[in-house]
Amino acid sequence: MPYDRPMYDLNEKMDLDPNNYKAWVLGNQWYPPPWVPLFVDHHYCYGKYGMQYGPEVIFDPRTKGWDWRFWKGGFYLSVIQPTEEEGKKREPIWREKMRKILENPQAVWDKHKIPMRKEIDRIFASDLKGSTDIDLCDHWMETWHYGKKVEEAHFEPMYALGSGNITFRKLLKQLFNITSANIEYSQLHSGLDNEYTTIVDKLARIAALAADMGLKDTFKEPDAEKLLAKLASDKKGKEWLDKFDQMVHEVGYMRRRGLELATPTWWEDKTLPLKDIQRYVNEGKTTAGNLDMKPELVKRRKKLEQELLNKVPSSEREMFQKLLECSQASHIFSEEHTLYVEMMFFSALRTRALEFGRRFAAKGMIDDPGDTVFLHHEEIFHAGIIQERCDLRTLITRRKNEFAEYRKLEGTLPPVLGDPTKISELVDADVIFSVSVAPPIATPEEVGASLVGCAGAPGVVEGIACVVGGEEDLDKVIPGTILVAPATTASWTPVFNVIKGVVTDGGGYLTHALIVGREFGIPAVVGTQEATRKIKSGQRIRVDGNTCRVYILD
Amino acid sequence: MVIKEFIVWLDELGKEDTPLVGSKNANLGEMLRKEMPVPMGFAVTTEAYNEFVSQGGIIPEIEQFLAKFPQGPQTPRELRETSEFIEKLHMQKELPQVIQKAIINAYNKLGKRYKLTDVAVAVRSSAVAEDLPTASFAGQYDSYLNIRGKDELLNKIKRCFASLFTDRSIFYRTKNNLPILGISMSVVVQKMVEARSAGVVFSVHPGTGDETKILLEGNWGTGESVVQGLVVPDIFVIDKDSLTCVEKQINPKLKQVAIEKTGTQEQDIPANKQTCQCLDDEEIIKIAELVKVVEKAYGVPLDIEWAIDQKITFPDNIFFVQARPITKIAEKKDAIDRILDIMQSR
C-alpha cells in the first residue's frame, strides 16, 4: 500500500488480464514519478474523481474516464469503457451536452476559470503567518477540498474540447490534407490569447530591462545567489531587483514542475526565475523573444483562417468554423489549465503545507519544514490541532524511505504494462488519451529513422542533443542545443526561448512541448517513447517535426 | 368513323392519357406541362399496337400456340418457347402502312424541329399502368438508344411491342391469373440527347438540406457516369435567390460513359479534358434557372438528370431527361448536428 493509502495497487492477475483492461500506460507525461505522499493523497481524494468527472458530466458514450494503478512508484493509466448498451443510452444526452459546448466552446473553460481565479486569489490573499493554529487548520481543509472543484475544472473542458480538437484535425486532413505536423495547423493555433505565455513574456521583459539598465556585465556572474548579492549592492541593481521582486510577488506560484508538491515555488526560491532571466540576458534574448511576434502570429492566423474558409465547400463552412473555434479553445485551455490547476492550486497547497511545516519544526515535531509533503492532508490537520503533543519523525522517516525506494526505480519503469498494441484501442475510445498519449505513427525501422514520434511541431533542425531527466536538470539545459526529455510541462516554457528543438518520450497531440514549440517556432517531435534512452547528450541529432522523425547523426 | 390516334406528340399528353400511351409517355407529357425541358418526341399509342396485332393476324396465331398449355406455360422451357414464338411473330409481320406512315412522318418532323437529318432517337417501351406494377418491373421491357433512320426505327418499335412477351412477363401474368393476351403496349420515340456533358442536379442541397442552394454535378459524356458514381464529378453550388454559383469544385474526371445502341460503354477521358470544367458558367446558371421553374411546378424538391446536347446551341441545348422527388434529403441538420455525427462515428 503506497504511503499507507489504500491506493490502487496493481493486481497483476486481474489488471493485466486483457478481458479487464486493454493495457496500462505510464502517466509520466503529466505526472513524472515518483510522487510525494501529499500529492498521492490529492489524487486519492480528487484526482481520480476528476478523471471520471470529465467524461461523466458530458455523458461521453465511449469512455467513463481513466482508471489508474500504482506500481513501483509509477502511475499507470487505462480507460474504463462503457458497454455498448451503456454507450447507446448515453449518446442522446451526450449530444445535448456537446451541442451546448460547441455553441460556445470557450465558455466551458471560462465557467470554471473565472470563479477559480477568484477563489485562488482569495486563498492566496489569506494571512498565513498571522493566522491562529485553528484558523490555519480551517483554511487548510477549505483549500484542500477546493481541490475537488479544481479537478472538475481540469477535466470537464479537457473532454469537452478535446473531442472538438480531434474532429477538427479529422476535417482538416480530409479537406486539405493538413495534419497536426503541418505548419498550417500550427499557424491556426498560434497567436491565441493564452495567459500562460504571459509568464514567459514577463521574464523576457524583465530580462530586457536588465540589459537596458546596463546590467549585462553583472549578469555574467554564473552563481545565482552571488548575482542576487551583487545586484543588491548596486544602485541600478537594486532598482532592477525591486521590479524583479514585484514580478516574483505576482507570479511566485510558479514552480519547475507542475503536477506535484515537492518542488519550490518562486516565492520560496527566487533564484529559479533569476536563472531563466540570467540565461535570457546572456543569450541576448532580451526582446521578449518570439513573443513580440504575437501581432504577426495573429495576423498570419487570421489570414490563413480566411484562406481556408474560402476553400472549404460552402456546405461545410459553418462546421469548419465551429470546429476551428473549438480546437483553438482546446489549445488555450490546454495551456491555461496548467497555470490555474498545476501552478496556482498546487502552489496554494504547498505553501500552506509549508506554513504548517514551519510551525511543526519550531515546536520540534519535525526536523525540516518541508517534510509536511510526506504527510496526508488529514494528518497535517490533526497534527495542526494537537501541535506540541506529537512527534511526526517516525512516520516521516518511513515515508521518506518509501519515496527513496521509488526514486531508485525512476527511469526503469516500462512505458506500457500489458499489450502495447492495444494502446490504439484505448486512444480510439478516449479522446484525452489520444491528445495526451498517442502511439508513434510508424516504427523507426519502417521509415529508416532513429526515432519516430506521434506528432510534431513543424520545422527541421540539426544540433547537439542535451538530454535531461527532469525539471531539476532544467538549469543544465545548454542554450542553442536540442532538448531531449521524458516530457516537458508548462513550467519548462522559459527554456523554449533558448533551445533549437525538442524531443520527448511521452506525449500526444496536445502535449505541452508541441504547443509551446509551435508558439516559439521550434521544431518538436513528441511521443517517441525512448528518446532519452537512445540519445546521449552531446550527440548530433536532426529533428524533423514535419514528419515526426528524429535521426541520430553521430 | 372514329379516327384512331396512332401517334401523339409528347407535349399533347398528360397523366390522363396513360391508357392510351402508357405511363412513361404520360410522365413525359406531364414533365413538359411543368416546363421541364425534356427532349421532344412522340408516342406510338396502344391503338397503334392494337391495330398492328389485330390486322396482322397475330392474336389468333398466339392463341393457337398457347392452346398447347391449358394451364398456361409453366416451366422455364415452356416460357422461353412461348416468348420466342411470339417475338418472332411480331418481327415477321409488317406494321400496317398507315401506322408506318404516321411514324415516319412524325420522325421527320422531329428532325426538322432540331434541324437534324436522321435525328438520333431513343425508342422505349411505355407499359400501360394496369398491366404490371412498374416499380417492381422497371427495366422489364426493351429500350433502344441512338436509333437513326426510319428502317431501324420501325424495327425497334416492333421489338418494344414484342417485349410485352418476355418469358418473365408471361410468367408473371400466368402466376397472377392475368390473361397473357389482351394487354397493350405503347412506345416512346424521343430525341436522343447527344450529350457533351451530363449529370444530376438537386433542387435542394441533399447533404445539408439547405433549401436556398442548388447542387449540380456533372461529367463529360452521358449522365450515367455520375448516376453510377463512376467518377467524382464537377460540383457546383448555386444560390437560388441570386442565381450565382457560390462554389465550384472541378475534379479530375478520368472516365465517361458513351451511349451505344443497347447499352453504355465506358471510355477514358482524354487527359486535356480531365480537369476542365465540364459545362460553361452560363450553362450552369441556365440549368439552375430551369430547376427553379420546375421545382415550383412540382412543388417538391427534385432530383433531376440533365444533359447538354453537343449539336445544339445554347440555350436550347439544355435538356432534363428525368425528374424524381428527392426521397432522401438530409433532414435539415445544422453544423453542430453534423459535427456530433462525426464525433459519434469516430
Inform me whether the pLDDT recorded for A491 exceeds 70. no
Give every CB contact of residue B279 below 8 A, 6+ residues apart in sequence: B197, B218, B234, B287, B308
* Set of cell numbers at residue A58: 458530458
Domains B7-191 and B195-345 share a fold: no
Position A509 scores a pLDDT of 67
CA distance, residue A23 to nearest chain B CA (Å):
21
Position A420 scores a pLDDT of 74
Rounded CA separation B124/B41 (Å): 11
Kindly state whether A445 is in contact with chain B, defined as any CB-CB distance less than 8 angstroms: no
CB distance B336–A102 less than 8 Å?
A: yes
Kindly state whether A179 is in contact with chain B, defined as any CB-CB distance less than 8 angstroms: no
Kindly state whether B242 is in contact with chain A, defined as any CB-CB distance less than 8 angstroms: no
C-alpha B256: how far from its chain's center?
A: 19
Give contacts of B 261-300 with A, CB under 8 A: none
Kindly state whether A302 is in contact with chain B, defined as any CB-CB distance less than 8 angstroms: no
CA distance, residue B278 to nearest chain A CA (Å):
19
Rounded CA separation A101/B337 (Å): 12
Position A511 scores a pLDDT of 73
Rounded CA separation A514/A505 (Å): 13
Rounded CA separation A356/A138 (Å): 12
| A517 close to A508: Cβ distance less than 8 angstroms | no
Kindly state whether B4 is in contact with chain A, defined as any CB-CB distance less than 8 angstroms: no
| A323 close to A308: Cβ distance less than 8 angstroms | no
DSSP label of B278: S
Facing B246 at nearest CB: one of A95, A103, A314: A314
Inform me whether the pLDDT recorded for B131 exceeds 60. no
Confidence class for position B1, pLDDT limits 50, 70, 90: very low
* Set of cell numbers at residue A9: 495497487
CB-CB neighbors (< 8 A) of B210 in chain A: 315
CB-CB neighbors (< 8 A) of B333 in chain A: none
Q: Tens digit of pLDDT for each residue in A493-521?
A: 778 878 899 998 877 766 778 877 877 77
C-alpha A497: how far from its chain's center?
A: 17
C-alpha B290: how far from its chain's center?
A: 19
Kindly state whether A234 is in contact with chain B, defined as any CB-CB distance less than 8 angstroms: no
Confidence class for position B198, pLDDT limits 50, 70, 90: very high
Kindly state whether B56 is in contact with chain A, defined as any CB-CB distance less than 8 angstroms: no
Q: Tens digit of pLDDT for each residue in A383-403?
A: 998 877 889 999 999 999 999
Inform me whether the pLDDT recorded for A368 exceeds 60. yes
Helices (H), ranges, B192-242: 224-227
Rounded CA separation B8/A485 (Å): 86
CB distance A313–B249 less than 8 Å?
A: yes
- Chain A, nearest residue to B250 by Cα: A313
Q: Find, among B169, B163, B167, B161, the residue nearest to B131 by Cα.
A: B169
Strands A524-526 vs B264-268: parallel, antiparallel or unpaired: unpaired
In 3-state terms, what secondary structure has residue A391?
A: coil
CA distance, residue B209 to nearest chain A CA (Å):
10
Q: Which long-range contacts (CB under 8 A, 24 or more apart) does A99-102 make?
A: A99/B336, A99/B337, A99/B340, A101/A58, A101/A160, A101/A161, A101/A164, A101/A326, A102/A164, A102/A322, A102/A326, A102/B336, A102/B339, A102/B340
pLDDT, averaged across chain B: 86
Rounded CA separation A41/A39 (Å): 5
| A553 close to A539: Cβ distance less than 8 angstroms | yes
Q: What percent of chain A has pLDDT over 70?
A: 94
Cβ-in-10-Å burial (0-12, 13-18, 19+) of B342 comes to middle
Position B293 scores a pLDDT of 92
CB distance A170–B247 less than 8 Å?
A: no
- Chain A, nearest residue to B346 by Cα: A428
Mean pLDDT of B44-72: 88
Kindly state whether B248 is in contact with chain A, defined as any CB-CB distance less than 8 angstroms: no
CA distance, residue A515 to nearest chain B CA (Å):
23
Give every CB contact of residue B57 below 8 A, 6+ residues apart in sequence: none
CB distance B335–A61 less than 8 Å?
A: no
Rounded CA separation A384/B172 (Å): 95
CATH superfamily of B7-191: ATP-grasp fold, A domain (3.30.1490.20)
| B124 close to B190: Cβ distance less than 8 angstroms | yes
| A63 close to A80: Cβ distance less than 8 angstroms | yes
Facing A322 at nearest CB: one of B210, B237, B339: B339
Cis status of the peptide bond prior to A34, with omega within 30 of 0:
yes
Rounded CA separation A162/B146 (Å): 58
Element (H, E) at A463: strand A460-467
| A66 close to A78: Cβ distance less than 8 angstroms | yes
* Set of cell numbers at residue A227: 548575482
* Set of cell numbers at residue A92: 442522446
Confidence class for position A28, pLDDT limits 50, 70, 90: low
Position A510 scores a pLDDT of 65
Q: Tens digit of pLDDT for each residue in B284-342?
A: 999 999 999 999 988 888 889 999 999 888 999 999 988 888 766 656 678 888 889 88
Kindly state whether B345 is in contact with chain A, defined as any CB-CB distance less than 8 angstroms: no
The beta strand positions in chain B, using DSSP E, are 7-9, 41-44, 121-127, 143-147, 185-191, 195-202, 213-220, 234-239, 244-249, 255-259, 264-268, 302-309, 318-325
Inform me whether the pLDDT recorded for B194 exceeds 80. yes
Inform me whether the pLDDT recorded for A27 exceeds 80. no
ipTM, two decimals: 0.77
Q: Find, among A467, A480, A459, the residue nearest to A530 by Cα.
A: A467
Strands A460-467 vs B41-44: parallel, antiparallel or unpaired: unpaired
* Set of cell numbers at residue A98: 456537446
Rounded CA separation B265/B299 (Å): 36
Tell the residue number behind the cell numbers 542535451, with chain if given.
A466
CA distance, residue A319 to nearest chain B CA (Å):
5
CA distance, residue B340 to nearest chain A CA (Å):
7
Beta-carbon count within 10 A of A9 CB: 12
C-alpha B70: how far from its chain's center?
A: 38
Q: Find, among A244, A266, A271, A247, the residue nearest to A255 by Cα.
A: A266
* Set of cell numbers at residue A238: 537594486
Facing B247 at nearest CB: one of A98, A166, A313: A313
Rounded CA separation B336/B346 (Å): 15
Q: Tens digit of pLDDT for each residue in A248-259?
A: 999 999 987 777
Rounded CA separation A336/A116 (Å): 12
How many helices and strands (H and E) does chain A possess?
A: 21, 12
Kindly state whether A313 is in contact with chain B, defined as any CB-CB distance less than 8 angstroms: yes
Q: Residues spanned by CATH 3.50.30.10 within chain A?
A: 438-552
Position B133 scores a pLDDT of 47
CB distance B339–A323 less than 8 Å?
A: yes
pLDDT, averaged across chain A: 87
Kindly state whether B24 is in contact with chain A, defined as any CB-CB distance less than 8 angstroms: no
| B14 close to B123: Cβ distance less than 8 angstroms | no
Position B2 scores a pLDDT of 53
Inform me whether the pLDDT recorded for B132 exceeds 70. no
Position A551 scores a pLDDT of 94
Kindly state whether B237 is in contact with chain A, defined as any CB-CB distance less than 8 angstroms: yes
CB-CB neighbors (< 8 A) of A323 in chain B: 339
Q: Find, among B151, B186, B140, B172, the residue nearest to B46 by Cα.
A: B186
Mean pLDDT of A296-310: 91
Q: What count of CB pairs under 8 Å joins A to B?
A: 51
Q: Tens digit of pLDDT for each residue in A118-161?
A: 999 999 999 999 999 999 999 999 999 999 999 999 999 999 99
Angle made by CA atoms B121, B197, B242, in degrees to the nearest 5: 120
Output the CATH code of domain B195-345: 3.30.470.20
Position A263 scores a pLDDT of 86
Kindly state whether A318 is in contact with chain B, defined as any CB-CB distance less than 8 angstroms: yes
Kindly state whether A536 is in contact with chain B, defined as any CB-CB distance less than 8 angstroms: no
* Set of cell numbers at residue A91: 449518446
| A71 close to A10: Cβ distance less than 8 angstroms | yes
| A493 close to A280: Cβ distance less than 8 angstroms | no
- Chain A, nearest residue to B214 by Cα: A315
CB-CB neighbors (< 8 A) of B344 in chain A: 61, 91, 95
Kindly state whether A323 is in contact with chain B, defined as any CB-CB distance less than 8 angstroms: yes
Facing B339 at nearest CB: one of A62, A167, A313: A167
Inform me whether the pLDDT recorded for B140 exceeds 70. no
* Set of cell numbers at residue A94: 451526450
CATH superfamily of A438-552: Phosphohistidine domain (3.50.30.10)
Kindly state whether A84 is in contact with chain B, defined as any CB-CB distance less than 8 angstroms: no
In 3-state terms, what secondary structure has residue B34?
A: coil
Domains of chain B: which residue ranges?
7-191, 195-345
Kindly state whether B3 is in contact with chain A, defined as any CB-CB distance less than 8 angstroms: no
Give contacts of B 172-231 with A, CB under 8 A: 205, 207-208, 210, 213
Rounded CA separation B45/A392 (Å): 108
In 3-state terms, what secondary structure has residue B208?
A: coil
Rounded CA separation B340/A136 (Å): 48
> A71: which strand partners?
A74
Confidence class for position A535, pLDDT limits 50, 70, 90: very high
Facing A170 at nearest CB: one of B237, B247, B342: B342
CB-CB neighbors (< 8 A) of B235 in chain A: 313
Inform me whether the pLDDT recorded for A310 exceeds 90. no
More confident: B229 or A336: A336
3-state percent helix, strand, coil for chain B, nearest multiple of 5: 40, 25, 35
Kindly state whether B241 is in contact with chain A, defined as any CB-CB distance less than 8 angstroms: no
